[in-house]
Amino acid sequence: MHRRMLDPQLRRRAALIPPLPLKGDRGRRVVRALIRRWGPGRPVEGVTRTTLGDGLGLHVYTPDGGGSGAALLWVHGGGLIIGDALQDNAFCSLTARELGIVVVSVDYRLAPEHPFPAALDDIFAAWQWLQRSADSLGIDPRRIAVGGVSAGGGLAACLAQRLHDSCGVRPAAQWLFCPMLDDRTAARRELDRLRHRVWNNSMNRIGWHAYLGGEPGGPQTPEHAVAARRTDLRELPPAWIGVGDIDLFADEDREYARRLQDAGVHCTLELVPGAPHGFETWAARTPLARGYLGRARAWLGARLTEPASPIPGGP
């Protein structure tokens, strides 16, 4: 993908991002180690971070002086095969402080060592913990959103579907940044030639193959494994989906947003011109990213002022 297609604010930073060696086990181990060592940003002032060692891998960000009674369950990205909750330290703490909410970020098991449903099971367990701990955290269990970036956004969307089907308390909102929603994108070999910045289709195929345990794009996938494969999107939580228009996931994200809207689900889609994958993370200080994140947080804050509506037929 040619440099001139990028927004001018992003060109220099995008050129500094190296290709990731994800094909072999050794390459993935190296990338994971580098993320754990160099990826964590420092939490902002005015927020306390607590790490829970009870086997769930949770990091809890609490604004000083307490919160508003709302919360966000956050899921990190990494193509389902790399990544760590601590890489979003700055993002989660800033979101907690600006919105006055508790943010819980979850470390989930990664593929290929732990294929589906391991990651989704871990996130579901984190949701259950958050529901059980609502009183001690000062949270209304009906005012909890789910969100994530890239693979984490796809997992958050799958969690919303699973919670809908379990007829329990559903999330107040879905907050999805450049979500990885559809394995069928990885099967489109013509996309390999476009060489998308940051996350390309060859990487995408590696991630989906590791997670699904087979070639992506097949006729069927397990229930709740791939968000875009679900046929009935009715009664899912309100959603915000943000993605750059030159992101590999732009088409699948636009299509999922359209289908949510057609199903009667409130969905806001923000398409950012000239922005490749995850730009709000690696170019967070640019005016482009700051404006984008500000609008995203404003949407989430408005959604968390009221409890989620109950699932019809649920408790």
Please identify which of the residues 88, 107, 247, 253 carries the catalytic annotation. Answer: 247
CB count within 10 Å of CB 150 equals 28
SS3 state at 197: coil
Strands (DSSP E) along the chain, which ranges?
Answer: 47-52, 58-63, 71-75, 102-106, 144-149, 174-177, 239-244, 267-272
- Per-residue b or e along 268-277, where b marks 16 or more CB atoms closer than 10 Å to that residue's CB: bbbebebbbb
Catalytic, out of 59, 76, 84, 150: 150
CB 210 within 8 A of CB 81: yes
Catalytic one among 59, 164, 224, 277?
Answer: 277
Q: What is the DSSP string of 85-143?
A: GGGGHHHHHHHHHHHT-EEEEE----TTTS-TTHHHHHHHHHHHHHHHTHHHHT--TTS
- Angle at alpha carbon of residue 286, lines to 280 and 289, rounded to 5°: 35
DSSP class of residue 3? G
Active site residue 247: yes
Query: 43: part of which helix (H) or strand (E)?
Result: none
277 catalytic? Reply is: yes
Residues annotated as catalytic are 150, 247, 277
